Amino acid sequence: MEAMIGRLYAQLLDAVMRDGAGEGADPARWWQGAIFYQVYVRSFRDANGDGIGDIAGVTEKLDYLAGLGVDGIWLSPFYPSPQVDFGYDITDLRDVDPIHGTLDDVLRMLEAAHDRGLRVIADFVPCHTSDRHPWFRESRESRTNPRHDWYVWADPGPDGTEPNNWLSSFGGRAWTWEPRRSQYYYHPFLACQPALNLRNDDVLREMIDAMIFWRDLGFDGFRLDAVQCIGWDRNLRSNPARVPDEDDVEVGGGPNNPFSMQVHLFDRDAPFGQTVLEKMRSEICPPGSDAVLIGEMADLDSTRLAVKYTAGDTRLHAAYDFDLIQKTDSLHRWIDTLQARSRYIGDGWLMNVLTNHDTVRAVSALAGEAVEAGFRTEAAKLLLFLQATLRGGAIIFQGEELGLPQPQLDREDIEDPWGLNLYPDFPGRDAARTPFPWSSSAVNGGFGEGAEPWLPMPDAHRPLAADDQDGDPGSVLSFVRRLLAWRRTMPVLRTGGDDVCDPDGRPLLRFERFGGGERLRIVANLGTEDLRLASEGQPLDFPTQNATATADGLTLGPFGFAVLDHARA
Ligand code: BGC
């Protein structure tokens, strides 16, 4: 019954809101259903040979990026930073770290990207700065200085301990003592990332002005970091306890991080966060502007939160659907997640993300055993196919278009402070951040000529390098290019609604996309055992994998998928 009501609601909404899919669609809504590519600048291409990726390296590779057929790119932080959290600890919100280049390099990159029809969004960190930011240096000096309440300060409890029980998702307490003020400051991540007090109008003004600065330089919008942390309880109430469960697969570093032993009722997602986003949206994206705000919200009930923050037209335009990576350890568990979200998504907008610089590469995380058994290419193509066809937009993390598996790093290669805090329970995020393999034969895999890359080029990635996949029609890279070109001919995939069917206990993902008078039926085998489907109709010639149609049905082999028909009303 619930499924039926959900379906009717989805169809009604689709009819009302999305009927213009494709022709006549509002160009200001370019972001709806768009496919982005995440460039982790530090590890993408090192143009000046110092071992660290840079903006000039991004510019060099824009033809490659445009050739993939993505709508835009998202650049991870390039601002001045001591790099303790690799750029997410910022000391100047309006400049470029010299290790990544200069403002001129950014302007050149923006122009060249726009010339190629690529949108560019910048990572922006609204919740905290580095402890070396001049604002924090001043704020920590005394309780009376002009910036004394630009960060979240609180007195100790009566016994001298922290003001409440809040924990950092990166391990340990979320409060650090400042003797100069005899107070604690709050930091939901590292102690060197003090939380900004966005309740202070001057602080919010500075943040909005910094975003306007980048927008006016030519950025098409922002990926807002850790949006769940913008709003915290004004009364600093302690979080209730909870017993970690299996859904915690990756949340906050996994079930062994004490962070997962609390319900994050008071340190996350306070209503104030939404007010902040409303102000940002109205100033940064006024009517007539086509700038976009895409939220990153992890470590909670992510999909529901993403829907809440994107419904209506007043806060975020779109947000990551983290449940696809955070709350699942295998593709089989996706079906329930997708069925549930299709019922409550309403007019929320999600970005399908399967991995990023914080998590494990998708084929290894979602199909690890099958990859070991030799199905890496098939698994990678299936995952990209789903990113391109599931409802919403998508963000493809660099290297996913090559189907890279998660490499093994040695303990001494770990640089990530989160990994160093929680090792060996959580080995950190470095393995997802290794340098991009451009060439199987060039020095440093083509990442840069000169100094050793900041993280090792994994041996397992060299044979999968972009130059080797380039001319191979069976490669993952060739598949993505064709897939995204095909997607551009299917407006229903950008903006249409969806209906996810019951799989009858099998690892079968069967869903429909509909809107604008079009309808597509899609089937996918999320496992390696053959699945037989009764007379499903004739698959399109492309995109398809391991799908064999016979007179009485369709067989889907390992990670097989097919698009069954394309009906236009
Ligand atoms: C970013 C991380 C970063 C954290 C703190 C995130 O969610 O993606 O890389 O460490 O925010 O800024």
Distance 411 CA to ligand 1 centre (A): 22
Residue 253: which pLDDT band, with cuts at 50, 70 and 90? low
Q: Are 190 and 84 in contact (CB under 8 A)?
A: yes
Which numbered atom of ligand 1 lies nearest the CA of 88? 12
- Hey, which of 214-228, 422-436, 497-511 has the most confident mean pLDDT? 214-228
* Cis ω before 407 (30° cut-off from 0): no
Q: Whose CA is nearest to atom 7 of ligand 1?
A: 226
CA of 89 to the centre of ligand 1 (A): 9
Q: Tell me whether residue 467 is one of the annotated catalytic residues.
A: no
Choose between 14 and 65: higher pLDDT.
65
- Ligand 1 test: best mutation among 79, 121, 169, 189, most atoms within 8 Å of CB? 189
Backbone angles phi, psi at 228, to 5 degrees: -60, -20
pLDDT of residue 3: 41
Token couple for 254:
């996994």
Q: What is the pLDDT of residue 256?
A: 73
CA of 85, closest atom in ligand 1 = 10
Q: What is the mean pLDDT of residues 554-558?
A: 96
Give the number of other Cβ atoms within 10 Å of residue 153's Cβ.
Answer: 21
pLDDT in tens, 316-350: 999 999 888 876 777 888 898 899 889 889 899 99
Q: Which of 14, 225, 233, 400 is catalytic?
A: 225
Residue whose token pair is 């990207």: 113
Q: Is 202 known to be catalytic? A: no
The first and second tokens of residue 249, run together, are: 């697969």
Using a pLDDT cut of 90, give the percent of the chain over it.
Answer: 79
CA-to-CA distance for 397 and 353, rounded, in angstroms? 8
Expressed in angstroms and rounded, the spacing between residue 189 Cα and the centre of ligand 1 is 8
Q: Region 5-11: what's the mean pLDDT?
A: 43
Protein residue closest via CA to atom 12 of ligand 1: 88
**Ligand 1 pocket residue status of 178, Cβ below 6 Å:** no
Which atom of ligand 1 is closest in space to residue 89's alpha carbon? 12
The CA distance from 226 to 519, in Å, is 35
Q: How far apart are CA 279 and CA 14, in angstroms?
A: 28
End-to-end alpha carbon distance in the chain: 27
Q: How far is the CA of 467 from the centre of ligand 1 (A)?
A: 31
Domains, the chain, in order of start with CATH, read 2-130+198-487 (3.20.20.80), 498-568 (2.60.40.1180)
The CA 245 to ligand 1 mean position distance, Å, reads: 23
pLDDT tens sequence across 494-528: 999 999 998 888 999 999 999 999 999 999 999 99
pLDDT digits (tens, 9 = 90+) for 170-186: 889 999 999 999 999 99
**CB of 85 shorter than 6 A to ligand 1:** yes
**Which atom of ligand 1 is found nearest the CA of 170?**
10
Say if strands 318-321 and 350-353 run parallel, antiparallel, or are unpaired.
Answer: parallel
The residue to mutate among 83, 225, 422, having the most atoms of ligand 1 within 8 angstroms of its beta carbon, is: 225
Which has the higher per-residue pLDDT, 226 or 27?
A: 226
| For the CA of 125, the nearest atom of ligand 1 | 12
User: In the predicted model, is pLDDT for residue 19 greater than 70?
Assistant: no
Picking from 89-98, 102-111, 397-406, 530-539, which range would have the lowest pLDDT averaged per residue? 530-539
pLDDT at residue 10, rounded to an integer? 41
Going from the Cα of 77 to the center of ligand 1, the distance in angstroms, rounded, reads 10
Distance, in Å, from the CA atom of 266 to the CA atom of 95, rounded to the nearest integer, reads 34
Span 349-359, average pLDDT? 95
The encoded tokens of residue 477 equal 């890279």
Out of 296, 358, 401, 512, the active site residue is 296
